[in-house]
């Protein structure tokens, strides 16, 4: 049992007909910090989590990719458009802790310029807030999680990480080698996993990472700062209730239009049928992620006077280059991505909007084999003999900005899933900018990999993260929520997850989602 | 004893009897496939053929006696081990005669569990036109004295017995050489004697389970003729038409024969190989197994790995038998080195309510996509080669797979006009998307198997103490040990 499971024993419980102060839907990076902050402020809060509660990660998470599907969101999503987005394990999790359970925990901050992308490039949208608005929350999250990182971050001289970097592994060394040869800077990456034991009064002691490398299959010892190891034990200790296996499918509203209760189905366990329940509440925080949040709003018809719910879907350009090296690499050991470069955030003369981060890649065998078979297009003896090279390959990849456009959106399909809701269908196609960015990256990454000694290189085109769909902005006509996440339509509905991002940023989203979550919590508490 | 070729070390024995003009070679491909599925195969050279070219025991009774002696030699006198008999064409008539002997209690033939007959010559007089007999006697009954002409006649004899799909060149040459090599007296004896001998009453009705396969392109011994002439003698027979095949089933359609024989034996309730506790140990090296058993591997991880080594009962639920054959053929081409039947794994997976959570909007639900995708390969195969996908040799299957990957296979402009089986096919774009899913799923199933992990040299599951040697070229202590053990094993 982890600390959260211990705290669960004495967890406070609320009655369904008791009007609580807030219901938080989802316990990932958006919901968990809010839940903790509200509970710590003495509010009566209930979190509804669609997935199960893993109380003993050390026993429940095997070092096995197939069995990890239990922490992936596997209700089917339909992928349309020219650039097919792969859902499931690639970008969506489930369980108490949400997607942070299978999260890569790569936590760069947003670059200040990425928040005003429209001003600089006349494409996409500016954020209704600045880097200065986010900075205190970034620092609070990093300190709370014990983010590990370098003493001097090359692209931000003022930044300090609470613990030193996790050890750089073989793919990280190769990226250092390749980038140095090209005259580009690298750094140990900021990672939300501990390089040394770390203690916080809110959640107690967490041990250091032991370099298993199976972070996407669930951390066993709590070194990774997934929400079940950090914000959630604090939330439960301070009076929050978490209800697992609770899928929200509707709302009830009062005469004034505000939400008065949340309708959810608690799924049955061990052959028992599920039960329909209703939690009365004063406020609702929808933190279900870039797909489930707009899906629920479209299904219920709420908060969409702007017509923007589901619009502006974005996914990071996440192209990878792979190569084979003469010596043994063993890319499965160590954190999946240990080295970063932010040198490509605004490459001179580049024909695209924004820029991209570069990271070293170690990928576990089954995921890698799928990428090879799908992306490299191999089959037969060619496939089998290339897979035999596993211990000698390493990857390098990017996470790049994506321009929101009209043709990229989420809608409800005609097919209904086991929850009784229509399956979401996501339309996504790269535009000129994304195509140019991927091409630019492939040239650079291949040069770096060649300099590092790679042979037999190939490119895996892929996307990462689900972003946009409930854009934040100052205009109620053009956005779904304001800069603090409050719905323009409903006074007591707030959204906090990657759906509110007006632009995708080059940075991986989780750290920014957590910062927004703290900011929303503070604003909500101050305005009560 | 007759000369024979024995392959395989484990599993039930299949004794194989060739056609007029063949030899033990006739069964080369079928044997290889069945050995891979844990059968032992003994392919005989009948009197006048192959290595028995100087043997002149040509009558049905003489040949049957020679086979019986050989079976005794192979199995041991009065053996009670279960076994099977396979007969192709002329060999089929002998198989029926021997089955009668087995049912009559011949002690050396006991525990015959089933017979596999491919285009068998029936127990009664073979329904063959006199002109055909005369042609054969004229062209092959004696040498023309001209080696080139003899070769032409032999090649024509082979080609005339092949259906819509030409034999791969190497097989055609080998088969032609077999025909050239046979004793011409043996051919004359069969044409004028053996095939005309009427054993119908002596064979009577047999109760041994029989699988009868016959090519649809054959004139005299097609499925309808077999129903009339052969099935009349077997009360428990299954007749399977081989679409587009003619008389040379074992050579034209080895993969289908293997599938049908495997399915047939399974349908008899036989399970093989014997399932024993020691199976995992026999499929992983001791060093690798020790690593899984060690305290480096967490208990839950160990249990998952070992579970994957244990054969699971398979309950087919999605595919029909011919779809399953096509799925297996497809899986074999995508991942040829798989240590297990990936198609069955996949079929089992398709029955689960939750898939991987992601689907291209252009494709139907996963199970339906598989049915439609397989139907598309089937239609393309029939259109291009005139036979089902599973009937093709690997090179031809790969041709279709490459087209699917390139987005050029499926119901296109021409396909829309094709109102046969092709009407249900995917569009080329859908086919490309689906085939990408197929590759991904099969690669995943392959890589999940511990035998693959060992082959690849992956030991990252042994992480319960964490890792400390994570830089280039570094190995954990246990990795050094395992790598050493791998070297030693080689």
Name the β-bridge partners of A459.
Answer: A321
Percent of chain B with pLDDT over 70: 93
A80 touches chain B (CB under 8 A): yes
The dihedral through the CA atoms of A214, A217, A223, A225 has a sign that is positive
CB contact under 8 A, A366 and B470: no
Pairing of strands A284-286, A314-317: unpaired
Nearest CA in chain B to A65: B448
> Structure tokens of A243?
């209800």
Nearest CA in chain B to A86: B358
B309-347 per-position pLDDT tens digit: 877 666 767 898 889 999 999 999 999 988 888 998 999
Per-residue pLDDT band at B278 (split at 50, 70, 90): very low
- Chain B, residues 332-351, CB within 8 A of chain A, namely 333-337
What's the rounded Cα separation, in Å, for the pair A71 and A98? Answer: 8
**Section B287-292 average pLDDT:** 93
The fold of the A3-58+72-526 domain, in CATH, is FAD/NAD(P)-binding domain (3.50.50)
- Chain B, residues 220-239, CB within 8 A of chain A, namely none
Backbone angles phi, psi at A427, to 5 degrees: -95, 125
Closest CA to B38 of B266, B202, B289, B344: B266
Element (H, E) at A138: helix A131-145
Name the β-bridge partners of A426.
Answer: A79, A410
Pick from B357, B362, B482 the residue to mutate for testing the A interface (most A CBs within 10 Å). Answer: B357
Nearest CA in chain A to B435: A374
| Cβ atoms A102, A74 nearer than 8 A | no
Closest CA to A85 of A323, A308, A402: A402
Task: Please state the three-class secondary structure of chain B as a single string.
Answer: CCCEEEECCCCCEEEEECCCCCCHHHHHHHHHHHHHCCCEEEEECCCCCHHHCCCCCCCHHHHHHHHHHHHHHHHCCCCCCCEEEEEECHHHHHHHHHHHHHHCCCHHHCCEEEEEEECCCCCCCCCCCHHHHHHHHHHHCCCCCCHHHHHHHHHHHHHHCCCCCCCCHHHHHHHHHHHHHCCHHHHHHHHHCHHHCCCHHHHCCECCCEEEEEECCCCCCCHHHHHHHCHHHECCEEEEEECCCCCCHHHHCHHHHHHHHHHHHHHCCCCCCCCCCCHHHHHCCHHHHHHHHCCCCCHHHHHHHHHHHCCCCCCCCCCCHHHHHHHHHHHHHHCCCCCCCHHHHHHHHHCCCCCCCEEECCCCCHHHHHHHHHHHHHHHHHHHHCCCHHHCCHHHHHHHHHHHHHCCCCCCHHHHHCCCHHHHCCCHHHHHHHHHHHHHHHHHHHHHCHHHHHHHCCCCCCCCCCCCCCCCCCCCHHHHHHHHHHHHHC
**Section B195-207 average pLDDT:** 95
Backbone angles phi, psi at B84, to 5 degrees: -135, 160
What's the rounded Cα separation, in Å, for the pair B241 and A498? Answer: 58
List the single residue in B301, B452, B457 with the smallest CB-CB distance to A63.
Answer: B301
- Chain B, residues 419-478, CB within 8 A of chain A, namely 433, 436-437, 439-440, 442-444, 446-448, 452-453, 455-458, 460-461, 463, 465-475
CB contact under 8 A, B304 and A60: no
Helix ranges, A256-353 (H): 289-300
> Structure tokens of B238?
């299954």
B487 touches chain A (CB under 8 A): no
pLDDT of residue B489: 59
Residues belonging to chain B: 490
In angstroms, what separates the C-alpha of B334 from chain A's closest C-alpha?
5
CB contact under 8 A, B439 and A79: no
Nearest CA in chain A to B354: A74
CB contact under 8 A, A213 and B475: no
Pairing of strands A339-341, A187-188: antiparallel
pLDDT score of B274 more than 50: no
| Cβ atoms A211, A335 nearer than 8 A | yes
Backbone angles phi, psi at A263, to 5 degrees: -100, 130
Residue B63 CB contacts under 8 Å (≥ 6 apart), including other chains? B46, B47, B57, B94, B194
Which chain B residues are Cβ-neighbours of A168 within 8 angstroms? 471
Residue B456 CB contacts under 8 Å (≥ 6 apart), including other chains? A365, A387, A388, A390, A391, B447
A250-268 per-position pLDDT tens digit: 999 999 999 999 999 998 6
Closest CA to A75 of A94, A59, A58: A94
Pairing of strands A422-427, A409-416: antiparallel
CB contact under 8 A, A73 and B357: yes
Closest CA to B196 of B124, B120, B95, B92: B124
List chain A pLDDT tens, one digit each, 528 residues.
999 999 999 999 999 999 999 999 999 999 999 999 999 999 999 999 999 999 999 999 999 999 999 999 999 999 999 998 999 988 899 999 999 999 999 999 999 999 999 999 999 999 999 999 999 999 999 999 999 999 999 999 999 999 999 999 999 999 999 999 999 999 999 999 999 999 999 999 999 999 999 999 999 999 999 999 999 999 999 999 999 999 999 999 999 999 999 999 998 665 566 899 999 999 999 999 999 999 999 999 999 999 999 999 999 999 999 999 999 999 999 999 999 999 999 999 999 999 999 999 999 999 999 999 999 999 999 999 999 999 999 999 999 999 999 999 999 999 999 889 999 999 999 999 999 999 999 999 999 999 999 999 999 999 999 999 999 999 999 999 999 999 999 999 999 999 999 999 999 999 999 999 999 999 999 998
Backbone angles phi, psi at A508, to 5 degrees: -60, 145
The pLDDT mean for chain A works out to: 97
The CA dihedral of B361, B364, B370, B376, to the nearest 10 degrees, is -90
What's the rounded Cα separation, in Å, for the pair B378 and B409? Answer: 11
ipTM of the modeled complex: 0.96
List the single residue in B334, B444, B469 with the smallest CB-CB distance to A380.
Answer: B334
Which chain A residues are Cβ-neighbours of B348 within 8 angstroms? none
> Structure tokens of A112?
């200040």
A329 touches chain B (CB under 8 A): yes
Helix ranges, A221-364 (H): 231-237, 289-300
Residue A56 CB contacts under 8 Å (≥ 6 apart), including other chains? A1, A2, A5
In angstroms, what separates the C-alpha of A108 from chain B's closest C-alpha?
23
pLDDT score of B280 more than 60: no
In angstroms, what separates the C-alpha of A92 from chain B's closest C-alpha?
9
Domains of chain B: 4-267 (3.40.50.1820), 279-311+459-489 (no CATH), 321-448 (no CATH)
CB contact under 8 A, B470 and A333: yes
- Chain B, residues 142-201, CB within 8 A of chain A, namely none
């Amino acid at each position: 049992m982890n600390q959260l499971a211990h705290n669960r024993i004495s967890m406070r419980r609320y009655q369904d007909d008791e009007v609580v102060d807030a219901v938080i839907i989802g316990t990932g990076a958006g919901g968990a910090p809010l839940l903790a902050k509200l509970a710590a402020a003495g509010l009566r809060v209930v979190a509804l989590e669609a997935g199960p509660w893993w109380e003993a990660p050390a026993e429940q998470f095997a070092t096995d990719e197939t069995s990890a599907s239990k922490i992936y969101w596997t209700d089917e999503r339909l992928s349309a458009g020219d650039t097919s987005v792969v859902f499931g394990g690639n970008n969506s999790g489930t369980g108490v802790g949400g997607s942070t359970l299978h999260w890569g925990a790569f936590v760069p901050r947003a670059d200040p310029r990425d928040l005003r992308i429209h001003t600089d490039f006349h494409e996409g949208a500016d954020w209704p807030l600045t880097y200065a608005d986010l900075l205190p929350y970034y620092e609070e999250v990093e300190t709370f999680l014990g983010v590990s990182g370098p003493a001097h971050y090359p692209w931000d001289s003022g930044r300090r990480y609470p613990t030193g970097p996790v050890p750089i592994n073989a793919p990280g060394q190769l990226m250092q080698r390749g980038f140095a040869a090209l005259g580009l800077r690298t750094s140990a990456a900021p990672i939300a996993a501990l390089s040394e034991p770390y203690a916080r009064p809110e959640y107690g002691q967490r041990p250091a990472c032991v370099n298993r490398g199976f972070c996407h299959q669930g951390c066993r010892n709590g070194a990774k700062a997934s929400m079940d190891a950090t914000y959630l034990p604090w939330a439960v200790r301070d009076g929050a209730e978490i209800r697992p296996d609770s899928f929200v499918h509707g709302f009830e509203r009062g005469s004034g239009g505000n939400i008065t209760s949340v309708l959810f189905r608690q799924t049955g366990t061990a052959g028992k049928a599920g039960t329909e329940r209703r939690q009365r509440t004063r406020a609702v925080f929808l933190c279900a992620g870039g797909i489930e949040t707009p899906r629920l709003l479209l299904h219920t018809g709420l908060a969409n006077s702007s017509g923007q719910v589901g619009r502006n879907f974005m996914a990071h350009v996440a192209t990878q280059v792979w190569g084979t090296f003469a010596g043994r690499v063993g890319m499965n050991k160590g954190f999946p991505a240990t080295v970063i470069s932010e040198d490509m955030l605004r490459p001179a003369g580049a024909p695209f909007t924004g820029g991209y981060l570069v990271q070293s890649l170690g990928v576990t065998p089954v995921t890698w084999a799928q990428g090879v078979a799908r992306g490299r297009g191999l089959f037969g003896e060619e496939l089998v003999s290339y897979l035999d090279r596993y211990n000698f390959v390493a990857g390098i990849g990017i996470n790049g900005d994506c321009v929101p456009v009209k043709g990229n959106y989420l809608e409800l399909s005609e097919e209904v899933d086991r929850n009784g809701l229509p399956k979401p269908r996501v339309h996504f196609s790269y535009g000129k900018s994304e195509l140019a960015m991927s091409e630019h990256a492939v040239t650079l990454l291949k040069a770096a990999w060649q300099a590092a000694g790679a042979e037999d290189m190939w490119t895996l085109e892929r996307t990462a993260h689900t972003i946009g769909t409930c854009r934040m902005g100052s205009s109620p006509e053009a956005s779904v929520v304001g800069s603090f996440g409050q719905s323009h339509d409903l006074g007591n509905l707030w959204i906090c997850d990657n759906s509110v991002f007006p632009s995708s940023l080059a940075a991986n989203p989780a750290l920014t989602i957590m910062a927004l979550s703290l900011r929303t919590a503070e604003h909500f508490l101050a305005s009560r | 004893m007759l000369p024979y070729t024995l392959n395989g070390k484990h599993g039930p024995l299949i004794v194989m009897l060739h056609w007029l003009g063949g030899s033990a070679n006739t069964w080369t491909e079928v044997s290889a496939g069945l050995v891979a599925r844990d059968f032992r195969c003994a392919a005989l050279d009948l009197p006048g053929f192959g290595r028995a070219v100087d043997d002149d025991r040509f009558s049905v009774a003489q040949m049957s006696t020679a086979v019986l002696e050989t079976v005794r030699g192979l199995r041991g006198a009065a053996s009670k081990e279960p076994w099977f008999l396979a007969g192709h064409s002329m060999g089929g008539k002998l198989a029926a005669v021997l089955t009668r002997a087995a049912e009559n209690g011949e002690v050396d033939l006991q525990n015959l569990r089933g017979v596999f007959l491919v285009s068998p010559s029936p127990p009664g007089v073979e329904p063959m036109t006199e002109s055909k007999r005369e042609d054969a006697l004229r062209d092959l009954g004696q040498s023309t004295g001209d080696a080139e002409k003899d070769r032409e006649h032999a090649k024509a004899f082979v080609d005339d017995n092949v259906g819509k799909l030409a034999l791969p060149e190497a097989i055609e040459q080998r088969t032609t050489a077999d025909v050239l090599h046979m004793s011409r007296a043996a051919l004359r004896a069969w044409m004028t004697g053996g095939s005309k001998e009427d054993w119908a009453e002596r064979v009577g009705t047999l109760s041994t389970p029989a699988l009868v396969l016959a090519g649809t392109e054959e004139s005299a011994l097609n499925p309808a003729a077999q129903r009339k002439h052969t099935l009349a003698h077997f009360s428990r027979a299954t007749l399977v038409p081989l679409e587009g095949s003619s008389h040379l089933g074992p050579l034209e359609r080895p993969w289908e024969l293997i599938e049908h024989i495997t399915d047939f034996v399974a349908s008899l309730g036989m399970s093989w190989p014997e399932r024993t506790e020691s199976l995992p140990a026999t499929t992983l090296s001791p060093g690798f197994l020790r690593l899984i058993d060690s305290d480096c591997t967490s208990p839950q991880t160990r249990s998952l790995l070992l579970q994957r080594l244990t054969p699971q009962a398979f309950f087919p639920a999605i595919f029909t038998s011919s779809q399953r054959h096509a799925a297996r053929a497809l899986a074999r081409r995508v991942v040829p080195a798989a240590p297990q039947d990936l198609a069955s794994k996949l079929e089992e997976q398709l029955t689960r309510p939750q898939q991987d959570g992601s689907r291209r909007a252009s494709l139907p639900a996963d199970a339906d996509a598989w049915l439609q995708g397989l139907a598309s390969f089937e239609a393309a195969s029939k259109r291009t080669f005139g036979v089902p996908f599973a009937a093709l040799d690997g090179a031809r299957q790969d041709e279709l797979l490459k087209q699917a990957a390139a987005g050029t296979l499926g119901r296109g402009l021409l396909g829309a006009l094709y109102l046969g089986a092709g009407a249900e096919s995917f569009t080329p774009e859908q086919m490309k998307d689906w085939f990408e899913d197929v590759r991904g799923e099969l690669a995943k199933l392959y890589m999940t198997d511990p035998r693959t992990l060992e082959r690849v040299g992956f030991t990252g599951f042994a992480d319960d103490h964490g890792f400390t040697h994570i830089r280039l070229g570094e190995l954990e202590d246990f990795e050094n040990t395992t790598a050493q053990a791998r070297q030693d094993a080689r």
